[in-house]
Structure 1
C-alpha cells in the first residue's frame, strides 16, 4: 500500500480541447451505419495509409474508353466491369472490416465482458438521442405533486406530458412501447448501494485461503443472514443476558445491583448509553488553530420516547397522541419478554414517567448551536460537581479502558443544561422507597439495552418497532436483509473490510485519474469569468495548496496483524452471540480513536473531503461497476472521472453561481438547448426559468463532463494506447459509459432539472466530437442553438 501522497507540480492551465486527437488503431469490431459512426472513425477511414483502395467506378472507366470500341464490346465490358466493381466493393468492405478488427485492442477481462453485456442491453444515446435523453430518472422537477412521474411531465409541450396534443402523441407513439420497458428496467444507482453490493460480493465469496479474521467477518455476515436460526432462538438469548446484569423486577429476579455498576457495564460491553451519549472527536475551535487533540464528548441521549420541540417555551414535550402508541409498544415488548399483562403496567408507567422527565431538557441541535451549548470544555472533576448522580470517572474509565483517565482530564459537553437536569431526576428515582422493589432505573436501562440488541432478536420485536413508526408517521424505507447484514458487519469488522478493500483498487490507476481530473479542474477555474479577481486569487491559492490523493490507512498492513487484532473474537452460528461481540468491538474502536492521532478510514465513504491540506478520495469510490483497472480508460473517465469532477466542484466551489458570470451564461445556454429539444412553449417568456440552485447544478454537471473529457484527452496524450468495449471508439465509449450513470443518486439530484445524459447533446452541438445523429429530427429551433 502506497502511503506517500503524490505532490502536484505547478502547471499551466490546460485549455479545453475542441476536438479529440485521432484515435489510431481503435475501430469498431462491427461496421456501424453512417448515422452512428464516430467522427474519429470517419476521419481514420479517410486516411490514405489505412484505406483500402477500391476499383474505379464503372462510370469513370466508361468515360475513358477510346471511341473506336464497338457498341457490343462496350456493353460486354461494361457488364464485366460492373460485376467486378460490385465484387471489389464487397471484398473491400470485408477486408476493411477484417483490418479494423485486427487493429482494435479489445478488452477481454471478465469485468469488460460484464460491461459489454450491460452496454448492449442499455439504451444507446447515439441511436435514439431524443427519446433517450428525455426519460429515465424518476422525478419531476417542476410539479408540486409528489409522485413517480418522469422528468418533463407537466411541462407544456413536453413530449412526455400526459396531456400532450394528439399530434405530439402520434409523433412519439412508436417509441412508447420500448420506453415503458426501459423505464421498468432503469434503476437509480446509488453510489453507497454500489459499494455495499461490492462488499456483499466479498463477504459471500468462497475463498478458503482467506485469513482467520476474514473468515470471522464472513461468519458473522452469514449468521446475520440466517433468519431461520434467529427466529427459532426467540427471546431466550436476551433473557439470559439480563440475568448476567443482575436480572430485573419484570422477570421477578433482580439482585438490586448498584446503579453506576450496571451503567458502566452497559456502556463498556454493550455500547448502550441510556442517560447520555458518548463520542470521541476534536474541538473545531482548536482545529481551526491547528490543534489535533481528541476529547471525550458527552451529549444528550437518543431518547426512546417520541417528543416534539416547543419553540415558545424552548422545551421538549410528549404529546398525548404519540404517547398512546408508544405505551402500546412498551407493553408489547414486556409481554414478549415474559411479563404478565397484570404486572406490565406497573413497570411501563414509571418507565414513561422517567422518560418524559428526562426529555424536558433535551433540545434540537440547531437550538443548542444558537445558544452556544456545543463543545463546552470542562474537567471530569467539574462535571462531577455539576451532575453528582453519575460516577463520571468510574463510568468513563470503564468505557475507555485501558487508557489512564483522571479527574483532571477535560471533556466536551454538548448540552450541559440537560446533564445538570438529568442528575437530580436520577437521584429522585433512586430514592423512591415505594418503587425500590420495582427498580425503575433498572427497567429503564434494560429497555434501552433491548433497543440496542433489537437487530439481533426475532422479527416480533422489529415488527413492533415498525408498527410504532407507522403510528407516528415516521416509517423508514425497508432495507433488504443483505444490506442490513453488510452494514452490521462493517460496524464490528470495519478494519477487516478496509484491509480487503485496500487490496482491490490498483493505486497507480486510481491516482492517475485523480491527478488528471484535478489538473483539468484547475484549468476550468481559469476559464471562468470571475466577478472579483481577489476572490479568484483566494480560491486559486486554496486549490493550489491542496494535495489530492487516495485515502488509505496505515492501521493494518498485513494479514498477520489483522488476525492478531481479532484473535480473541469467537464467531459462532448464533447471531445474537456474535452481535454482542460486535458491540464490544465497536466500543473498542471508540477507545482507539481517543488514543490515536491518525484519522480512521471510513470504509462506507463514497465522496471526497478536505482534511488539512489534503483532498482525500475514499477507496469506496473506486469499485465496479463505477471503476475497474481493466476497463478501457475511456470508460473509467466517463464514469468515475465525471463523478470525481462533480464532487470536487461541489466541495470546493459551493457558491460559484454568485462568483462567476460564466456559470449564469453556460447554465442558461444548456437550459435553452433542453427547451428547444422539448419544444416547450414556455421557453417563450421564460415561464420555466430555473432557480439559482438549479442553474448552478446544471453548470456543475456540464462542467464536470467537460473536465472528465479533457482529463481523458490528457491521459491519451501521455499514453495513446487504450482498449475498447463493443468496438466503440474512444470518445463514443466515454460518452456511452457516462450515459449509464445518468441517474446517479446524490445529495444534489433533486436540483438537476434535466436528464444529465442530455449534456452529451449539448457538448456535441457544432462539434465533430459526436455523430450528427444527436440532432433531433423535427426540432425547428435546434439548428439555431450555439455551443455552450
Structure 2
C-alpha cells in the first residue's frame, strides 16, 4: 500500500530534460537512393517530394511522442498548488520551520524551529477562530435588528465599553452584596439564614462555594439526565500537590488577593484581613476532605446513586431539596429524587465542618461565601478588580512553575463571554462564515478514508484474537460521527423571542448576571426535552476533537477543520497528514480499554504487553531538551494513539492511483507529496515545549513528532535517513 518515492522536482525541470534527451533524426541515405534507375530524359518530380513527406511524417511522430510524454508526466506527477490558500500555507510553513536542521535527526526543529515562544498550533487556531467571531460581532451587516439575535451584539458592545465599566467601578457589586444582606467588613449588614444565602448564590449567581451541582447524562446506561453533585473548584492549588515551603508562599499570595478585594469594596482593612485569614483557614480544611480522582477510581467509588432524602441524612447542614429546587427550576424535585454523588465522603465531612461553623460563628459563613462570590465576579468588574485577579494567577503560576498566562486583549475576553452566553446564535453565524457545505463534504470524505484504513489495519493487529478483531471492526463501523456543529446550529434561526429573559443593563455586571441566569434556565430546559443522541462538549468554533465512550460518538468541531489543519483546496498530503492524523488518533480512543491491564482477556496479552513495553522504551530512548521530562506511564495511551494515528493516516493517504495522479505540492518547499504529509503532521504539534501543563496526558511536543516518525519506516525512506539516525532506528514497535 505504499506509493512510489517522489523526487520533489518541479515539473518544468523534468519537461526540459525530456526535450533534451529525446531521440534525434538520423541523416542517413535511404535504400531507395542506392538503386540505379534507367537514364530517362524526363524528370521525376514525385520522388524528392516523397522523401520529404516521409521525413516530415517521422519528425511529426517523434514530436508528438515527446509532447505526449511531457503531457503524461505533467498530468500524473505532482503539481504545485497555486491557490491563495496554498500560498498562505506555504508562508506559514516557511515562517515556522528551520530548514537548516537535518530532518533525520531533529524533525521537530526542522518543522517548528522558529515557533518557540509562540502559541501552539492549536492555540493559534483557536485564536484565529475567535478573530472570525470578532469580525462577525463587529460587522454591522451581520446584525438583524429587532430579533433575539440583536441582544448578542448589544451584549458584546457593552463588554467592549470599558469607559462605562470603569465609571461604574465597584458600585454594581456593592448592590449585589446588599441584596444578599451585606457582610461583616462593612458597617451595614443583615445576617441571613445560611441555606437561604447558599440558595441565592447557587440559583441567582451561579456560584457554588462548598460543592458543585450540575445536570449531566447519567454515567451508566441509558444515560438519562440527572443532577450530579461533585467536589468544588478552588482558586488555590491542592496542598498535597505542593512542597510545604511553596504552599506557604501560595497562601500568602492568596491572602494578599483577598485583602485587596475587600479593600477595593471599601472594607475596613483590619476586618478584611481577619475575614481573609478565616476564609483561607476554612478552605484549607475543606482541602483535607478532597480525594483525588485516581484514588476514588482505585477504590471503586467514582460515583454513588442516592436520593435527596438519603443525602439529607448523611450531610444535614445543607438543605438539599430547597437549594437544588431553586437552582434547577423548572424541574420538579422531591425527596425521592435520585442524584449522582461523586464523592460522598467529602460531602459528609464538609457538612460536619459547616455545622461546627454555624454553632461558633454563623455570621462568618455568610461573609466567607460573599468573599468567594466577589472573586468569581471580579472579571466582570473594572480594571482594578481584573488586575488583582491577573496578579494572583501570575504569582500562582510562578510558584507552581507553570508558564505565564498570556494577557488576552479585551475583544477576546468579550468574544469568549458572548460565546458562552449566546452559543446557539454564534454557532450558526460561525458555520455560515467558516464551514461551507463543500468543507463539510470534504471532511466527511477524509474521515471515511481514515475509517476504512483503520478497519483494514485491524485485520493484522498481532495481539488481537479473531473475536476481538471482529468486534473492534464492528465498533468502528457503528461509530456515530458529529462533524462541524450540532444539528441545531446548522439551521440558523433568528427567533424574535430568543433570549427574551435576558435583561441588558444598566451596568455590564447586571447584564452579565442576567445572562448567567438565562443560560442556566436554557440548560435545564434542554435536559427536560427528549434527550438527543449526544450533547456536544465543545463549542462549534472550538479546536478540540473528542470521543465519547458513553455515546460511542466522535466529534470534530468546525473550528478544528480550518487552515492550517484542513481546507478542501489543500494538497491531499496536507489534509491527510494534519486533519487525517487527528481523526485517526481520536478513533483509536475507542480501543483504550483494550490496552489497559485486564482490558482484553481473550487477546494475546504477552504480545500486547511486549508491544506496550517496547513503546515505552522507544519513547524513553528519544533525547529531550535539557530540563524537559515526561512520565512514560502517564502518557502511554496517548503515545499509542499518536503512533497509530500517523500510521493509519499514512495508510489511508497511500491508497491512491499510481504516479500520484492528481496530487499537488506546495510551491517552493522542495518537498515531495510524501514528505509534505510528514511535514503537515509535525506542524500540528508545533508548540513551545515550556508551555506543557503538568497534568497533560500527552508527551512533550518534540516526542509527539519524533516518537511516531522514528517508528515509521516510510519516514526514513522518503527522507533518505541513514540507518542508525535518530529517526531511523534499527528496531521499531508494532502495536497497531
**Please, what TM-score do these two structures have when normalized by structure 1?**
0.68
The corresponding residue for 1:488 is: 417
SS of 2:427 mapped into structure 1: helix
RMSD, matched Cα: 5.2
Matching of residues 506-517 of structure 1 within 5 Å: 506-517=439-450
Q: In structure 2, which of residues 305, 308, 313 is the aligned counterpart of residue 380 of structure 1?
A: 308
The corresponding residue for 1:274 is: 209
Q: Does the C-alpha gap of structure 1 residues 761 and 302 become closer, same or farther in structure 2, counting only changes over 3 Å?
A: closer
Matching of residue 191 in structure 1 with residue 141 in structure 2: no
Matching of residue 455 in structure 1 with residue 376 in structure 2: no
The corresponding residue for 1:527 is: 460
Contact 2:213 2:230 in 1 (8 A): yes
The corresponding residue for 1:607 is: 545
SS of 2:216 mapped into structure 1: strand
The corresponding residue for 1:440 is: 364
SS of 1:254 mapped into structure 2: coil
**Please, what TM-score do these two structures have when normalized by structure 2?**
0.73
Q: In structure 1, which of residues 469, 473, 483 is the aligned counterpart of residue 396 of structure 2?
A: 469
The corresponding residue for 1:74 is: none
TM-superposed CA distance for 1:492, in Å, is: 1.9
The corresponding residue for 2:650 is: 709
Q: Does the C-alpha gap of structure 1 residues 615 and 387 become closer, same or farther in structure 2, counting only changes over 3 Å?
A: closer
The corresponding residue for 1:159 is: none
Q: Which runs of 5+ in 1 are unaligned?
A: 1-15, 33-41, 65-87, 138-149, 151-178, 679-689
Q: Give aligned pairs, total.
A: 657
Contact 1:271 1:586 in 2 (8 A): no
Contact 2:634 2:697 in 1 (8 A): no
TM-superposed CA distance for 1:541, in Å, is: 4.1
SS of 2:493 mapped into structure 1: helix
Q: In structure 2, which of residues 570, 573, 591 is the aligned counterpart of residue 634 of structure 1?
A: 573
Matching of residues 477-626 of structure 1 within 5 Å: 477-482=404-409, 484-503=413-432, 504-505=434-435, 506-530=439-463, 532-550=465-483, 552-556=485-489, 558-561=491-494, 564-569=497-502, 575-592=508-525, 594-596=527-529, 597-598=531-532, 599-601=534-536, 602-603=538-539, 604=542, 606-610=544-548, 611-626=550-565
- 1-structure distance, mates of 2:636, 2:349: 48
The corresponding residue for 1:170 is: none
Matching of residue 726 in structure 1 with residue 667 in structure 2: yes
Contact 1:225 1:485 in 2 (8 A): yes
The corresponding residue for 1:241 is: 176
Q: Does the C-alpha gap of structure 1 residues 338 and 521 become closer, same or farther in structure 2, counting only changes over 3 Å?
A: same
Contact 1:632 1:723 in 2 (8 A): yes
- 1-structure distance, mates of 2:234, 2:635: 38
Q: Does the C-alpha gap of structure 1 residues 353 and 735 become closer, same or farther in structure 2, counting only changes over 3 Å?
A: closer
Matching of residues 256-275 of structure 1 within 5 Å: 256-275=191-210
Contact 1:514 1:548 in 2 (8 A): no
- 2-structure distance, mates of 1:579, 1:63: 97
Could you list the per-position Cα deviations for residues 171-226 of structure 1 after superposition, in whole angstroms to 9, with x for gaps in the alignment?
xxxxxxxx899436785634355234313322234433325566654554565566
SS of 2:422 mapped into structure 1: helix
TM-superposed CA distance for 1:337, in Å, is: 1.5
Could you list the per-position Cα deviations for residues 22-71 of structure 1 after superposition, in whole angstroms to 9, with x for gaps in the alignment?
99xxx977735xxxxxxxxx6x999xxxx65867569x77999xxxxxxx
Could you list the per-position Cα deviations for residues 422-463 of structure 1 after superposition, in whole angstroms to 9, with x for gaps in the alignment?
44544454455xx67xx3222112111112112223234214
Matching of residue 330 in structure 1 with residue 330 in structure 2: no
SS of 2:114 mapped into structure 1: helix
TM-superposed CA distance for 1:619, in Å, is: 3.4
Could you list the per-position Cα deviations for residues 278-333 of structure 1 after superposition, in whole angstroms to 9, with x for gaps in the alignment?
1222333xx2xx3222211122323566663599xxxx9x9867654444433232
Q: Which runs of 5+ in 2 are unaligned?
A: 31-61, 597-603, 624-630
The corresponding residue for 1:399 is: 327
Q: In structure 1, which of residues 755, 761, 779 is the aligned counterpart of residue 706 of structure 2?
A: 755
Matching of residue 298 in structure 1 with residue 229 in structure 2: yes
SS of 2:700 mapped into structure 1: helix
Could you list the per-position Cα deviations for residues 375-410 of structure 1 after superposition, in whole angstroms to 9, with x for gaps in the alignment?
322222333344444332222121111222222211
Q: In structure 2, which of residues 91, 102, 119 is the aligned counterpart of residue 117 of structure 1?
A: 91
Could you list the per-position Cα deviations for residues 68-106 of structure 1 after superposition, in whole angstroms to 9, with x for gaps in the alignment?
xxxxxxxxxxxxxxxxxxxx99xx99x969995999877
